[in-house]
Amino acid sequence: MASSNFYLLSVLLIMIASGARATDPTPLQDFCVADKDSPVRVNGLPCKDVKDVKVDDFFLAADLDKPRDTTMRKVKSNVTLINVMKLAGLNTLGISMARIDYAPQGQNPPHTHPRATEILTVLEGSLYVGFVTSNPDNKFFRKLLNKGDVFVFPQGLIHFQFNPSHDKPAVAIAALSSQNPGAITISNAVFGSKPPIADDVLAKAFQVDKKVVDWLQAQFWEDNHN
Chain CA centroid to CA 117, Å = 8
CA distance 37 to 87: 14
Is 159 within any annotated ligand binding site?
yes
Measuring CA to CA, which residue among 29, 64, 72 is closest to residue 47? 29
- pLDDT, residue 102, reads 98
CATH of segment(s) 21-182:
2.60.120.10
Is 118 within any annotated ligand binding site?
yes
Looking at the chain, the number of H-run helices and the number of E-run strands are 4, 10
At 45-82, the pLDDT tens digits run: 899 999 999 999 999 999 999 999 999 899 999 999 99
pTM for the model: 0.86
User: What is the DSSP secondary-structure string of 70-87?
Assistant: -TTSTT-EEEEEE-TTT-
Is 124 within any annotated ligand binding site?
no
CA distance 143 to 180: 27
* Residue 200 clears pLDDT 90, i.e. is over it: yes
Q: Name the DSSP letter for residue 131.
A: E
State the sign of the Cα–Cα–Cα–Cα dihedral 176, 68, 162, 145.
positive
Q: Where are the domains of the chain?
A: 21-182, 186-225
At 126-178, the pLDDT tens digits run: 999 999 999 999 999 999 999 999 999 999 999 999 999 999 999 999 999 99
Is 113 within any annotated ligand binding site?
yes
Is 225 within any annotated ligand binding site?
no
What distances in angstroms separate CA 74 from CA 41, 106, 182, 187, 219, one per listed residue? 36, 9, 21, 13, 11
User: What is the DSSP secondary-structure string of 140-186?
Assistant: EEEEEE-TT-EEEE-TT-EEEEE---SS--EEEEEEESSSS---EEH
- pLDDT, residue 222, reads 85
State the sign of the Cα–Cα–Cα–Cα dihedral 188, 194, 200, 204.
negative
